[in-house]
């Protein structure tokens, strides 16, 4: 199970990088995630947000990635607002993101504080 998850994540990262490089239309972005969604095998929203930060995606690119997996940013969810702020401001410091999440009583995205 772990091996297939690693293969999926590796393929998803490759698809995201290719998509970012090619700046293709939103309808053709992240096809591997859409296929996984149809198969019922998807990472959690938290893992997708962590990948977006690690890949230093823009806010719009992160939203495309979330949408491809069937998720979105929610304005009523503090953790979404915090992560979205960091993406919008192009601040990719994992410790700063986790510290902000912890400060507002949310679970850290990358570590245990």
Sketch the domain layout of the chain as residue ranges: 2-103
pLDDT per position as a tens digit, 8-31: 666 666 666 665 555 544 444 456
Q: Is the pLDDT of residue 5 over 70?
A: no
So what's the pLDDT on residue 111? 82
pLDDT per position as a tens digit, 79-110: 999 999 999 999 999 999 999 999 999 999 99
Q: What does pTM read for this prediction? A: 0.65
Mean pLDDT for the chain? 80
So what's the pLDDT on residue 27? 45
Six token digits for residue 77: 């969810």
Six token digits for residue 2: 């772990």
Sequential DSSP letters for 30-93 = -HHHHHHHHHT----HHHHHHHHHHTT--HHHHHHHHHHTT----TT-HHHHHHHHHHHTT---
């Amino acid at each position: 199970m772990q091996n297939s998850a690693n293969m999926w994540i590796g393929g998803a990262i490759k698809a995201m990088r290719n998509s970012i490089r090619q700046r293709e239309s939103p309808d053709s972005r992240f096809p591997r995630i859409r296929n996984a969604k149809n198969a019922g095998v998807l990472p959690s929203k938290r893992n997708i947000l962590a990948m977006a930060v690690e890949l230093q995606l823009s806010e719009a690119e992160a939203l495309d990635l979330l949408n491809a997996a069937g998720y979105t940013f929610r304005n009523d969810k503090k953790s979404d607002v915090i992560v979205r702020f960091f993406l919008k401001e192009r601040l990719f410091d994992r410790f700063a993101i986790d510290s902000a999440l912890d400060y507002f009583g949310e679970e850290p995205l990358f570590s245990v504080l």
